[in-house]
């Protein structure tokens, strides 16, 4: 087994609390009437993985197993307790005994049509310690349901990624710096680094998809050094930086013989695999002065997936976007034969567009038009209703003559007659009286006020 | 070396550097070149007037402009502006460039950019690509450039490699459309394609001296002025400047090994100069022997050598990787490796020379050994029987007073019949420093003839008018700048204040002037504060007619300068600096000490310093040498 897959599904979805509160933690948020985790597992299965380890909260373990029954691959669901507040690194440590080879770590909110082998090829080609998947960041969409207006001044923290192209889309990562860590609005770059890589790019327009390929030794290192708790914000920048540090062990180790070398738990280099074959090849091929290069080096590469779709559904805006994308007529994510489930009933006089999805046992009355909308299960939609750009979850009732545009309606919502809603977010079990007119409102229980990035 | 000969006339592979530059321009179909000559301008002008460039048949018109006053590129550009030499785009080229680049593509790129937007693109810098470990690079020339990889716009320009880290302002990453690329693999060729507004900008910003000042100024003020700088990277053609001995060495080698083709020694330059009559013959392994030179039988010339006309070489010599000029006499049994021997040098029997430069008319007697990295300046005489240590420089003429101090030659160093002095740096202990400085690391103070040429290019390519200027710095001035920015700054401030006071210029203008000097010399606020205070005291001292007159005089000055003083007194530490400067001055100057109380009172009344600061100062003596004096002053207070 060349690669093992670990899916991090223990997140609570803190950037879209409205959606994830109650009985719907992040992996089970429905996108195109499929839980989010389905997309990740589907991608892995398509890529040829026969096994996956899924880390999730204890309380949803059984639910998770239920969802995963659909797949042929062997899945191992590991539950973590809600209170322990484990971070990504801790979670990895928890399953260290299950990891036998290099590992790909991904987040459950990933939706992508990436041919996975491309990423794996970068990993194989450069024998990199860490390979990460990047994609161009998307501009925020306007009219997020339930958000009045964009909060100004809350500009996103930029991430500065120094990339040195090796091939067209595989790039060596030279540094990862967050804007917050920089002083005086200055970006420092070491001269020694520039000497080694005299031409490189600084990108701020890339989005980290939280897909990482780690070498096996990295997991060993992580389990022994638990100081760092977040893969993204602590471990990766550290490893990237260590690429250019000198390996102490190599310097004093070769002459003295293996026995004298103590395993230094803090030194990342003591975990790096020795590769005698590579050393041998270097010996044969490199000129003496170049032979300093040794197989015990740390290398970080990135693959930039530019042409296709790649997104992390971690806020409301991306949630809308994801729904739209997967239900497009030419979408390859869902193997859709019938856009309207056979058990649903749509009146002949109603129109359901080719970019819509309608779930099981839903009823749509006459003279209703549904465009670019996803309708969940067991919904009833009255006559003369217009729906466009909406996401409607399960057991929603919409009365006659309502007009909804760009809204998200959660489970068990009831909309009265002739309501007119635009860009609204309607939380679970909300009931709107007839003739309600709202725009850009968020109707949720007060306990979970929305917090956006 | 450049004290007696301008750098642009140094013989590179037996041809003056400037001729390479002019040939390069002619090959780019440049039609009119203005040559700005400064340092030893007479020699440059003489050379030009004798050369083919001033003849009817010359492919381009060359106009020398002589002025010894110009000390920097800034001065030249301001002169260009004053004379309004150009109405259209033009080229600026340093007079020490060796290149076979075709400028068509960069010129075309520049033209397209300028057509798209009339005023925004200001100039195009030509950069040549070379990896960080390339021999052509010298550390002092290290540039780091952040540019947009699509539009080739320069976003940040950093020069020098002293700091471990290079800081990039975050603002350059703001525009998501820019694909910011950081390049460390470039050498600034010094060639600019300029829009006609460039000289005007130099006039507007009188503190711009060098190219670096200008580029930085434009980039910093980009937002207000809206000017942009672009660059063009020369990838496959040759382009290098000879601005120190290290590059002299490397470029010479490159010329010999034909990287600069067609500008190689055996090229038909159709010079009518008597010196270079006749041709070089190219033998295998890049050995060029002039038709008109004589080699004795057993002498071996191997690998990458040039032997100039009328040179005689005796028996059993070994010459490798060296360039030997015209009219040299080399006796028997010499071993010469990696050397540059200029014209009319005489070398006695059994000399051994390694990796050194020997200037015109040097005379070496018997059995002299030069270890690596030696340099012998014009007319030096060495030997017999002596060995020069690694990195020694011997000179004979120097324009400054040093000559009179050291009258006799050090026989131990230069041999019994030797004539010449060992050249030493101010802190002359570390020979490695010297050697490094000499061979191209931080060569500034020794070898600083800056040559800048400048060429105008009219829009229509073929029949364009052109101008180039060559300008060599007065050595002394440059030396001063390097020595002590602070002193110059102080002097400048004092002059501004004095002038301002005499002519009653508005204080706001003075503030502006001081601020610009502050940035020009990169002074801290503290320096400014101290300098201003000191300058006003000195002016008062200068203007007083009698001792009694001192305070009224000072008072009138201070009164006049009050707005200025208030400008810099924002923090209590600045106020404290005022007082310490005052104290320091008073400790050396009795009259000031006498009226100290009055001065303090005056400053206090005019809100220059506040009470707490005076008290703080009074209770916190600073451990200066003037403590003894300070005591009475404090007491008086």
The CATH number that applies at residue A303 is 3.90.550.10
Task: Determine which of B134, B180, B185, B233 to mutate to test the interface with A (most A C-beta atoms within 10 Å).
Answer: B180
| Domain contains A284 | no
pLDDT digits (tens, 9 = 90+) for A298-336: 889 999 888 888 888 888 888 888 888 888 877 777 766
Interchain proximity B184–A199, CB inside 8 Å: yes
Question: Nearest-CA residue of chain A relative to B150?
Answer: A201
Residue of A160, A190, A201 lying closest to B165 (CB–CB): A190
CATH classification of the domain holding B582 = 1.25.40.180
Are B140 and B160 in contact by the 8 Å Cβ rule? The answer is yes
Are A5 and A53 in contact by the 8 Å Cβ rule? The answer is yes
Domain span holding position B374: 273-423
pLDDT digits (tens, 9 = 90+) for B247-264: 888 899 999 999 988 888
Distance (Å, whole) CA A209 – CA B116: 39
In B395-468, alpha helices (H): 402-405, 411-414, 431-438
Query: Domain check: are A364 and A308 in the same one?
Result: no
Query: Domain check: are B219 and B289 in the same one?
Result: no
Query: Domain check: are B75 and B30 in the same one?
Result: yes
Task: Determine which of B148, B167, B174 to mutate to test the interface with A (most A C-beta atoms within 10 Å).
Answer: B167
**How far, rounded to the nearest angstrom, does the alpha carbon of residue A257 sit from its chain's CA centroid?**
45
Among the three residues A251, A280, A312, which one is the final residue of a domain in this structure?
Answer: A312
Question: Nearest-CA residue of chain B relative to A137?
Answer: B176
Contacts of B155 in chain A (CB under 8 A): none
Query: Domain check: are A208 and A72 in the same one?
Result: yes
Q: How many domains does chain B have?
A: 3
| Domain contains A263 | no
pLDDT digits (tens, 9 = 90+) for B188-205: 888 989 888 888 888 888
The phi-psi region of residue B282 (left if phi > 0; otherwise alpha if psi is between -120 and 50; otherwise beta) is beta
For B184, phi then psi, to 5°, come to: -115, 0
Whether the per-residue pLDDT at B323 is higher than 90: the answer is: yes
For position B508, what pLDDT does the model report? 77
What is the percentage of chain A residues whose pLDDT exceeds 70? Answer: 81
- CB-CB neighbours of B246 under 10 Å: 23
Query: Domain check: are A358 and A427 in the same one?
Result: yes
Query: Domain check: are B196 and B320 in the same one?
Result: no
pLDDT digits (tens, 9 = 90+) for B65-120: 887 778 788 888 888 888 888 888 889 898 889 999 988 899 999 989 888 887 77
Among the three residues B196, B226, B241, which one is the final residue of a domain in this structure?
Answer: B241
Calculate ∠ Cα B50-B51-B55, nearest 5°: 90
Highest mean pLDDT among B168-182, B454-468, B506-520, B556-570: B168-182
First to last CA, chain A: 39
| Domain contains B167 | yes
Pairing of strands A206-214, A130-136: antiparallel
Distances (CA, A) of B56 to A205, B30, B48, B62, B207: 59, 16, 13, 11, 40
Query: Domain check: are B307 and B408 in the same one?
Result: yes
| Domain contains B620 | yes
| Domain contains A261 | no
Whether the per-residue pLDDT at B618 is higher than 70: the answer is: yes
Domain span holding position A185: 4-243+298-312
Distance (Å, whole) CA B574 – CA A370: 72
| Domain contains A289 | no
Q: How many domains does chain A have?
A: 2
Closest by CA to B92, choosing from B79, B248, B223, B444, is B79
Query: Domain check: are A235 and A347 in the same one?
Result: no
Query: Domain check: are B175 and B32 in the same one?
Result: yes
Range name among A23-37, A69-83, B508-522 with the lowest pLDDT average? B508-522
Question: Nearest-CA residue of chain B relative to A138?
Answer: B176
For B517, phi then psi, to 5°, come to: -65, -40
pLDDT digits (tens, 9 = 90+) for B5-34: 888 888 888 888 888 998 898 888 888 888
Question: Nearest-CA residue of chain B relative to A136?
Answer: B176
Are B245 and B438 in contact by the 8 Å Cβ rule? The answer is yes
Residue of A184, A190, A204 lying closest to B173 (CB–CB): A204
For B285, phi then psi, to 5°, come to: 60, 40
Whether the per-residue pLDDT at B443 is higher than 70: the answer is: no
Query: Domain check: are A303 and A341 in the same one?
Result: no
Half-sphere exposure of B382 (CA within 13 A, CB side): 35
Query: Domain check: are A126 and A226 in the same one?
Result: yes
Query: Domain check: are B394 and B510 in the same one?
Result: no
| Domain contains B90 | yes
Query: Domain check: are B167 and B287 in the same one?
Result: no
Interchain proximity B183–A158, CB inside 8 Å: no
pLDDT digits (tens, 9 = 90+) for B354-399: 989 999 999 999 889 988 888 888 888 887 888 888 878 888 865 5
pLDDT digits (tens, 9 = 90+) for A208-247: 888 999 988 888 888 887 667 788 888 888 888 888 876 5
Closest by CA to A111, choosing from A211, A39, A10, is A39
Query: Domain check: are A224 and A365 in the same one?
Result: no
| Arithmetic mean of pLDDT, A32-48 | 88
Contacts of A190 in chain B (CB under 8 A): 164-166
Q: In which element (H, E) is residue B475 found?
A: helix B475-483
| Domain contains B250 | no
Interchain proximity B163–A194, CB inside 8 Å: no
Contacts of B164 in chain A (CB under 8 A): 190-192
Query: Domain check: are A191 and A61 in the same one?
Result: yes
Query: Domain check: are B158 and B77 in the same one?
Result: yes
Query: Domain check: are A305 and A350 in the same one?
Result: no
Interchain proximity A202–B161, CB inside 8 Å: no
Distance (Å, whole) CA B550 – CA B556: 10
Chain A interface with B: residues with Cβ < 8 Å: 158, 160, 162, 179, 182, 184-192, 194-195, 197-205
Range name among A260-274, B260-274, B382-396 with the lowest pLDDT average? A260-274
pLDDT digits (tens, 9 = 90+) for A171-181: 888 888 887 77
| Domain contains A264 | no
CATH classification of the domain holding A373 = 2.160.10.10
Question: Nearest-CA residue of chain A relative to B167?
Answer: A188
CATH classification of the domain holding B182 = 3.90.550.10
Question: Nearest-CA residue of chain B relative to A163?
Answer: B181
Query: Domain check: are A308 and A437 in the same one?
Result: no
Query: Domain check: are B487 and B627 in the same one?
Result: yes
Distance (Å, whole) CA B635 – CA B637: 5
Calculate ∠ Cα B408-B414-B417, nearest 5°: 75
Contacts of A204 in chain B (CB under 8 A): 173, 176
Interchain proximity B185–A199, CB inside 8 Å: yes
Helices B525-543 and B572-588 cross at an angle (nearest 10°) of 40
Query: Domain check: are B129 and B218 in the same one?
Result: yes
Contacts of A179 in chain B (CB under 8 A): 170
Query: Domain check: are B31 and B136 in the same one?
Result: yes
pLDDT digits (tens, 9 = 90+) for A110-143: 998 888 988 998 888 888 889 999 988 877 666 6
Query: Domain check: are B347 and B419 in the same one?
Result: yes
CA-based nearest distance B234→chain A, Å: 15
For position B272, what pLDDT does the model report? 53
| Domain contains A388 | yes
In sequence order, what E strands does B115-185 have?
121-129, 143-148, 154-159, 165-169, 180-183
Query: Domain check: are A108 and A181 in the same one?
Result: yes
| Arithmetic mean of pLDDT, A422-427 | 87
Query: Domain check: are A83 and A188 in the same one?
Result: yes
Question: Nearest-CA residue of chain A relative to B176?
Answer: A205
Interchain proximity A201–B173, CB inside 8 Å: no
| Domain contains B256 | no
Q: Go through B307-322 and write b for each residue having 16 or more CB atoms within 10 A of its CB, e for each that does not.
A: bbbbbebbeebebbbb
Interchain proximity B168–A205, CB inside 8 Å: no
CATH classification of the domain holding B330 = 2.160.10.10
Range name among A86-95, A252-261, B318-327, B394-403 with the lowest pLDDT average? A252-261
What residues contact B450, with CB distance under 8 A and at least 6 apart?
Answer: B7, B72, B73, B94, B243, B471, B472, B473, B478
């Amino acid at each position: 087994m060349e690669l093992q897959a670990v899916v991090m599904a223990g997140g609570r979805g803190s950037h879209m609390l409205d959606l994830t509160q109650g009985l719907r933690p992040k992996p089970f948020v429905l996108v195109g009437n499929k839980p989010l985790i389905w997309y990740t597992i589907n991608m892995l299965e398509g890529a040829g993985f026969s096994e996956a380890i899924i880390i999730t909260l204890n309380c949803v373990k059984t639910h998770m197993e239920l969802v995963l029954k659909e797949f042929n691959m062997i899945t191992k669901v590991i539950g973590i307790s809600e209170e322990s507040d484990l971070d990504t690194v801790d979670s990895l440590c928890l399953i260290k005994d299950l990891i036998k080879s290099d590992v790909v770590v991904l987040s459950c909110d990933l939706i992508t049509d990436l041919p996975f082998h491309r990423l794996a090829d970068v990993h194989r080609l450069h024998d990199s310690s860490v390979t990460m998947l990047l994609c161009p960041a998307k501009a925020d969409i306007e009219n997020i349901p339930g958000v009045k207006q964009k909060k100004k001044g809350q500009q996103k923290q930029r991430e500065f990624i120094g990339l040195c192209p090796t091939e067209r889309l595989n790039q060596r990562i030279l540094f990862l710096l967050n804007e917050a860590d920089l002083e005086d609005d200055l970006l420092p770059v070491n001269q020694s680094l520039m000497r080694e890589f005299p031409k490189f790019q600084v990108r701020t327009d890339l989005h980290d998809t939280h897909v990482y390929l780690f070498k096996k030794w990295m997991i060993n290192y992580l389990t022994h050094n638990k100081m760092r708790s977040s893969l993204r914000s602590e471990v990766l920048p550290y490893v990237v930086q260590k690429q250019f540090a000198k390996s102490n062990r190599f310097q004093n180790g070769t002459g003295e013989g293996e026995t004298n070398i103590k395993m230094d738990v803090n030194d990342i280099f003591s975990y790096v695999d020795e590769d005698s074959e590579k050393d041998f090849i270097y010996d044969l091929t490199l000129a003496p002065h170049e032979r300093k290069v040794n197989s015990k080096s740390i290398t970080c590469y990135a693959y930039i997936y530019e042409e296709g779709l790649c997104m992390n559904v971690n806020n409301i805006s991306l949630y809308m976007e994801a729904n739209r994308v997967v239900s497009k007529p030419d979408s390859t994510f869902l193997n859709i034969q019938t856009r309207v489930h056979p058990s649903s009933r749509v009146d002949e006089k109603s129109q359901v567009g080719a970019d819509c999805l309608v779930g099981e046992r839903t009823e749509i009355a006459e003279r209703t038009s549904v465009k670019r909308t996803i309708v969940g299960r067991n919904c009833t939609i009255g006559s003369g209703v217009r729906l466009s750009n909406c996401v409607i979850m399960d057991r929603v009732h919409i009365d006659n003559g309502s007009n909804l545009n760009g809204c998200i309606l959660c489970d068990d919502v009831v909309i009265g007659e002739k309501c007119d809603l635009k860009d609204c977010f309607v939380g679970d079990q909300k009931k709107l009286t007839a003739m309600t007119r709202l725009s850009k409102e968020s109707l949720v229980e007060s306990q979970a006020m929305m917090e956006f990035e | 070396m450049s004290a007696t000969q301008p750098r642009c006339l140094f013989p590179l592979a037996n041809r003056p550097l400037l001729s390479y530059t002019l040939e390069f321009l002619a090959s780019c179909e440049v039609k009119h070149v203005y040559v700005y000559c400064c340092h030893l301008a007479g020699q440059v002008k003489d050379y030009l007037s004798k050369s083919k460039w001033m003849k009817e048949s010359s492919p381009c018109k060359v106009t020398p402009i002589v002025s010894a006053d110009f000390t920097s590129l800034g001065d030249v550009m301001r002169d260009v502006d004053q004379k309004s030499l150009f109405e259209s785009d033009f080229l600026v080229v340093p007079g020490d460039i060796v290149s076979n680049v075709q400028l068509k593509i960069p010129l075309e790129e520049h033209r397209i950019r300028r057509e798209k937007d009339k005023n925004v693109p200001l100039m195009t810098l030509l950069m040549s690509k070379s990896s960080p470990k390339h021999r052509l690079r010298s550390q002092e020339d290290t540039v780091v450039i952040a540019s947009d990889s699509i539009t080739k716009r320069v976003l940040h320009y950093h020069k020098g490699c002293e700091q471990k880290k290079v800081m990039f302002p975050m603002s350059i990453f703001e525009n998501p459309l820019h694909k910011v690329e950081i390049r460390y693999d470039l050498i600034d060729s010094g060639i600019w394609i300029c829009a006609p507004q460039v000289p005007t900008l130099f006039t507007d910003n009188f503190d711009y001296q060098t190219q670096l000042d200008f580029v930085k100024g434009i980039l910093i003020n980009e937002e207000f002025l809206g000017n942009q700088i672009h660059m063009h990277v020369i990838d496959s053609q040759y382009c290098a400047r000879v601005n120190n001995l290290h590059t002299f060495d490397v470029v010479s080698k490159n010329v010999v090994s034909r990287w600069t083709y067609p500008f190689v020694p055996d090229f038909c330059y159709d010079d009518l100069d008597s010196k270079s009559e006749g041709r070089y013959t190219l033998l295998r392994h890049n050995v060029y022997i002039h038709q008109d030179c004589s080699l004795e039988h057993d002498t071996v010339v191997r690998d990458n050598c040039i032997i100039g006309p009328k040179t005689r070489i005796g028996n059993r010599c070994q010459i490798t990787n060296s360039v030997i000029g015209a009219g040299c006499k080399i006796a028997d049994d010499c071993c010469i490796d990696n050397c540059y021997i200029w014209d009319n040098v005489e070398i006695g029997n059994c000399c051994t020379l390694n990796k050194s430069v020997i200037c015109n008319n040097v005379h070496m007697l018997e059995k002299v050994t030069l270890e690596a990295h030696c340099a012998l300046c014009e007319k030096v005489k060495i030997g017999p029987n002596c060995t020069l240590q690694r990195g020694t420089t011997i000179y004979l003429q120097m324009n400054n007073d040093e000559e009179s101090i050291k009258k006799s030659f050090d026989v131990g160093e230069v041999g019994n019949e030797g004539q010449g002095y060992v050249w030493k740096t101010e802190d002359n202990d570390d020979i490695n420093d010297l050697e490094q400085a000499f061979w191209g690391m931080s060569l500034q103070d020794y070898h600083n003839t800056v040559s800048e040429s400048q060429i105008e290019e009219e829009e229509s390519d073929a029949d364009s008018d052109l101008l180039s200027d060559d300008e060599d710095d007065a050595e002394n001035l440059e030396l001063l700048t390097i020595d002590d920015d602070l002193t110059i700054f102080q002097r400048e401030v004092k002059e501004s204040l004095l002038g301002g006071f005499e002519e009653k210029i508005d204080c706001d203008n003075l503030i502006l002037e001081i601020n610009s000097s502050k940035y020009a010399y990169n002074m801290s606020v503290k320096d400014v504060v101290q300098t201003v205070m000191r300058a006003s005291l000195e002016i008062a001292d200068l203007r007083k007619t009698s001792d009694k007159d001192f305070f009224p005089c000072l008072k009138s000055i201070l009164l006049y300068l009050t707005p200025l003083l208030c400008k810099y007194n924002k923090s209590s530490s600045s106020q404290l600096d005022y007082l310490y400067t005052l104290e320091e001055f008073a400790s050396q100057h009795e009259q000031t000490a006498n009226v100290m109380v009055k001065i303090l009172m005056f400053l206090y009344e005019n809100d220059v310093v506040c009470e707490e600061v005076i008290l703080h100062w009074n209770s916190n003596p600073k451990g200066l040498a003037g403590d003894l004096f300070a005591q009475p002053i404090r007491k008086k207070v």
